[in-house]
Structure 1
Amino acid sequence: MAKKNIPVLAMILAGGRVDELSVLTFYRPKASLPFGGVYRVIDFPLTNLMRSGFFLVGVLSQYRPYSLMEHLDYGIPWDMTGRRRGIYILPPFRGREASDWYKGTADAVYQNLEFIKRWSPEVVLILSGDHIYRMDYRPFLDFHLQNKADVTIAFTPVKEEEAHRFGQGVIEEVSPFGGPLKDYREKVSPPVSTCASLTIYAFRPEVLEEVLLANVGEDSHEFGRDILPRMLGAYRMYGYIFRGYWGYTRTVKEYWQTNMDLLGPEPKIDLKRWQICTNLAHREVRDRKPTILGTRANICDSLFYNGSFINGEVHRSVLFPGVVIEEGAEVSESILFYGTVVKRGARLKRVICDAGVTIEEETQVGGEEDITVIGTKTSVPSGLKIAPGAIVYPNLKKEDFSQVSYPAGEIVS
Structure 2
Amino acid sequence: MRFQEDSIDCVDFILKKDEVLTIILGGGKGTRLLPLTEKRSKPAVSFGGKYRLIDIPISNSLNSGFEKIFILTQFNSYSLNRHINRTYATNNIHQKSFVEIIAAEQTVSSANWFEGTADAVRKVLPYIREQKPKYVLILSGDQLYNMDLADFMQSHLMDPETQISVATNAIPEDQIYGLGIVKAGVGGSIQEFIEKPQDLSQVESCRTENGSFLANMGIYIFNTSTLIDVLEDRSMADFGKEILPRAIKERKVKAYTYDGYWEDIGTIKAFYEANLMLTDHIPKFNLYLEKTPIYTRARALPPSKINQAVVNQALISEGTILNQCEVHRSIIGVRQLIASGTKIYDSIIMGLDHYGYFDRKSGKIPIGIGPNCEIRRTIVDKDCAIGANVRLLNEQNLQEYEDEYVRIRDGIIVVPRHSAIPDGYII
2:191 pairs with one of 182, 186, 207: 182
1:4-43 pair list within 5 angstroms: 4=5, 5-6=16-17, 7-43=19-55
Separation in 2, partners of 1:58, 1:266: 33
3-state SS in 1 of match to 2:35: helix
Is contact 2:310–2:326 with CA below 8 Å preserved after alignment?
A: yes
Match of 2:383 in 1: 356
Residue 246 in structure 1 maps to residue 265 in structure 2: no
Separation in 2, partners of 1:45, 1:37: 17
Match of 2:13 in 1: none
C-alpha displacement of 1:97: 6.9
Cα deviation 1:278-304 (Å, max 9, x = unaligned): 112xxxxx2222211112x11100001
Separation in 2, partners of 1:180, 1:80: 41
Separation in 1, partners of 2:93, 2:111: 28
Is contact 2:21–2:69 with CA below 8 Å preserved after alignment?
A: yes
- Amino acid in structure 2 at the alignment position of 1:299: V
Is contact 2:383–2:418 with CA below 8 Å preserved after alignment?
A: no
2:369 pairs with one of 314, 324, 342: 342
Structure 1 moving runs of 4+ over 6 Å = 370-375
1:276-295 pair list within 5 angstroms: 276-280=294-298, 286-295=299-308
1:366 pairs with one of 380, 383, 393: 393
Cα deviation 1:85-109 (Å, max 9, x = unaligned): 2112111235437745211111100
Is contact 1:366–1:386 with CA below 8 Å preserved after alignment?
A: no
Match of 2:251 in 1: 235
Separation in 1, partners of 2:409, 2:62: 43
Scaled by the length of structure 2, the TM-score of the pair is 0.83
C-alpha displacement of 1:318: 0.4
C-alpha displacement of 1:394: 4.7
Cα deviation 1:344-393 (Å, max 9, x = unaligned): 11111010011111221111113485789999xx978xxxx999545555
Is contact 1:13–1:61 with CA below 8 Å preserved after alignment?
A: yes
2:293 pairs with one of 251, 258, 275: 275
C-alpha displacement of 1:3: 3.7
Match of 2:12 in 1: none
- Amino acid in structure 1 at the alignment position of 2:33: L
3-state SS in 2 of match to 1:138: helix
C-alpha displacement of 1:142: 1.2
3-state SS in 1 of match to 2:372: coil
Separation in 1, partners of 2:75, 2:410: 31
Separation in 2, partners of 1:241, 1:199: 12
Match of 1:85 in 2: 97
3-state SS in 2 of match to 1:344: coil
Q: RMSD between aligned alpha carbons?
A: 2.8
Distance 1:257 1:302, change over 3 A: same
Match of 1:195 in 2: 214
C-alpha displacement of 1:256: 0.7
Is contact 1:23–1:373 with CA below 8 Å preserved after alignment?
A: no
Scaled by the length of structure 1, the TM-score of the pair is 0.86
C-alpha displacement of 1:269: 1.8
3-state SS in 2 of match to 1:182: strand
- Amino acid in structure 2 at the alignment position of 1:326: A
- Amino acid in structure 2 at the alignment position of 1:255: F
Is contact 2:87–2:297 with CA below 8 Å preserved after alignment?
A: no
Query: Percent identity of the aligned residues?
Result: 28
Distance 1:397 1:263, change over 3 A: closer
Match of 1:260 in 2: 276
Cα deviation 1:23-44 (Å, max 9, x = unaligned): 1011111111110011111111
Distance 1:228 1:80, change over 3 A: farther
Residue 59 in structure 1 maps to residue 79 in structure 2: no
Cα deviation 1:8-65 (Å, max 9, x = unaligned): 0010001423111111011111111110011111111111111111110111001122
Gaps of 5+ in 2: 6-15, 207-212, 353-366
Match of 1:162 in 2: 175
Distance 1:173 1:386, change over 3 A: closer
1:379-390 pair list within 5 angstroms: 388-390=411-413
Match of 1:171 in 2: 184
Separation in 1, partners of 2:307, 2:402: 26
- Amino acid in structure 2 at the alignment position of 1:289: P
Distance 1:33 1:393, change over 3 A: closer
C-alpha displacement of 1:267: 1.6
- Amino acid in structure 1 at the alignment position of 2:223: R
Separation in 2, partners of 1:390, 1:301: 21
3-state SS in 1 of match to 2:39: coil
Separation in 2, partners of 1:347, 1:366: 7
- Amino acid in structure 2 at the alignment position of 1:304: I
Distance 1:243 1:395, change over 3 A: same
Is contact 1:373–1:391 with CA below 8 Å preserved after alignment?
A: no
Is contact 1:247–1:258 with CA below 8 Å preserved after alignment?
A: yes
C-alpha displacement of 1:68: 1.3
